[in-house]
Copies of this chain bind each other. A is one copy, B any other.
């Protein structure tokens, strides 16, 4: 494999001497809030020297290469790592909830009972699951810049998307890999990430929900914590376990307090480089809307779950996921009222604007960039609610409807040539659409009705009964009636039916009178026009302004900073350490002994039967969970926590409460990563699950704790 290219900055971005002054001025202002641990660094710009200075630890290229190649992406939104040369992947239990649910029935409940494959033949295919491993990165910033040079923001926006799609297509042809275009530094860098993709992913091991998510929503994002939030998958190629020579080995006794530890993974999304205007707009618009919608849906599902055992099973992981989102949204809103954070951003922005003003080689467009963002946001206010409910699909929460919308959009786009279609329908993307449409993911019509009924009701509530789309969709039906009719009469739950329509093509889709397709046909034009309006009036000027700001930042500060998280591979460093919570010092480790007094016997503070029977064979002092100062965010779930030798010393599964504010800033005093300790994983595999086959594969069968 090629070494990762060290991209050189485009010619216009070379660091002039003058900038050094601003850089130093900037760093003086920034140095307090940016301690060693902050940063989700790209592998091609990892600050190894800072690590060396802070921890006396030198990571060589071999370390970086091996860790990178052992880190995998669960394309649904998580991270994992190879832990054997036969495609075995360690990740969180909560990262495979979808798979567990899709494989469960009223007769076989993998969530309540857990799952372990004693032989390869017992491993169960996860429908629709996909795992990707980064192979190469290629910088295309200059190609994009050249293509959009001199264009107005709207044209540039469209051109940029097309160029990036073309580059990705070309890349796939030439490399044989899956290529994704990536925007870093809010448009300061464009790159192609090239992945090896595994589409045959099977479930190997998952403990019971009760111990994986012990403490449930009350304990979620809290610490001390006691979760065995682990699971194992295996990737297959051509029906055989994949050959994965780069994998991590375990250090069962874990790392010591104060020891340097690293997290390799795919943090989903941060917004640390947004302007102040953008941050403030978040706390007025989308967050309050989403909190209210999520809370109400949570209420509906929690009562619906009590109406039948099937309903209970169907929401068994969906409800915790929803509760997780709600906690995240709530704490984000809180973070956006944090005066300390806001004044840091204000300070940074004032500093940047001043530096830009005083910098002679930066033109006037740099000065107006911040105001351009604010103006675009103001423009957005005029149609934000419609855009969020319709184009953001908050009014259409239904898997059946989502499939129908894909088919309806496809019917329209596939009549055009590949180059003229929306990028997501270009030829290279079609196989993955077909795969998604054909995935045998079970659909429960009652659940679909609850979800669609809820979201259509919210659509009417937010847009008003006189909104033209609301009138067109509902006529004289209530949202409930419409949802019931569409979900009960549609065949969009049937993968074969969907695949047949897809293969029969646009004519067949257009001719179908499936009620969900009819609903999708009624909605699609509004989604399209709102998406276009958003792209033109909001996204285009904001992206242009962000590119400008990003160029200014490179000009002023060089590459000393890390880009916002974008669900691309990153490496963060830190140390095993607790924190000071008010009066109390929170210590970094928890133990099995400290779990015991929290057991009430009732969900979510209950041990599964397997643990009741055998957990007393595990020493009470066994470490259960731990915290470290690494800078992570959602998407890092399932990431390996690694020591300086490259050994696995934990399995990241959460952050503490303060980590949620990490979306906007990193608070070194309070922000902590929460991991499952290797000791409890190995002890439970040995004594509770008696997973000798797995332990052998992990070379842990003989090792004593």
Contact = CB atoms under 8 A, between A and B. Distances in A.
A602 B300 contact: no
A75 to B, nearest CB: 31
A222 B475 CA distance: 20
A465 B296 contact: no
A379 to B, nearest CB: 15
A478 B300 contact: no
A477 B600 contact: yes
Nearest to A334: B284
By secondary structure, the A interface counts as helix
A476 to B, nearest CB: 4
Interface in A372-396: none
Contacts of A330: 288, 292
Contact of A303 (B217, B283, B304, B605): B304
A603 interface: yes
A421 B547 CA distance: 68
Interface string A210-238: 00000101110010000000000000000
B602 A218 contact: no
A498 interface: no
A326 B461 CA distance: 12
A605 B465 contact: yes
A598 interface: yes
A461 B481 CA distance: 35
Interface in A446-471: 450, 454, 460-461, 464-465
A99 to B, nearest CB: 27
A601 B477 CA distance: 8
Interface residues of A, number: 45
A600 B466 CA distance: 12
Given A295-B296, A302-B300, A465 B333 contact: no
Contacts of A478: 600, 602-603
A318 interface: no
A177 interface: no
A288 B454 CA distance: 21
Nearest to A222: B464
A219 B600 contact: no
Contacts of A476: 600-602
A364 B449 CA distance: 65
B465 A219 contact: yes
B299 A295 contact: yes
A291 interface: yes
Interface in A601-647: 601-603, 605
A538 B330 CA distance: 25
Given A297-B299, A299-B297, A598 B218 contact: no
A599 B487 CA distance: 25
Interface in A239-298: 283-284, 288, 291-293, 295-298
Given A288-B330, A292-B292, A476-B601, A461 B299 contact: no
A360 interface: no
A217 B479 CA distance: 13
A291 B326 CA distance: 13
A474 interface: yes
Contact of A295 (B295, B460, B598): B295
Contacts of A600: 474-478
Contacts of A283: 337
Nearest to A474: B600
A461 B450 CA distance: 25
A312 to B, nearest CB: 13
A295 B605 CA distance: 26
A300 B305 CA distance: 11
A361 interface: no
A704 interface: no
Contact of A300 (B219, B299, B605): B299
A284 B474 contact: no
Contacts of A301: 299
A703 interface: no
A307 interface: yes
Nearest to A598: B465
Interface string A472-515: 00111110010000000000000000000000000000000000
Contact of A292 (B295, B337, B464, B598): B295
A261 to B, nearest CB: 27
A477 B605 contact: no
A479 B465 CA distance: 38
A235 B330 CA distance: 47
A478 B602 CA distance: 6
Contacts of A215: 465
Nearest to A470: B218
Most B Cβ at <10 Å: residue of A299, A304, A460? A299
Given A298-B299, A299-B296, A460-B218, A602 B477 contact: yes
24 contacts: A217-B461, A218-B461, A218-B464, A222-B464, A284-B334, A288-B333, A291-B292, A291-B295, A293-B295, A295-B296, A296-B298, A298-B299, A300-B300, A300-B303, A303-B307, A303-B450, A307-B307, A465-B598, A475-B600, A476-B600, A476-B601, A476-B602, A477-B600, A478-B602
Given A218-B465, A219-B465, A303-B304, 17 more contacts: A215-B465, A284-B337, A288-B288, A288-B333, A292-B326, A296-B296, A299-B299, A299-B302, A299-B303, A299-B454, A465-B598, A465-B605, A474-B600, A475-B600, A476-B600, A476-B602, A478-B602
By Cβ-Cβ distance, the 4 closest A-B pairs, closest first, are: A299-B299, A295-B295, A478-B602, A296-B299
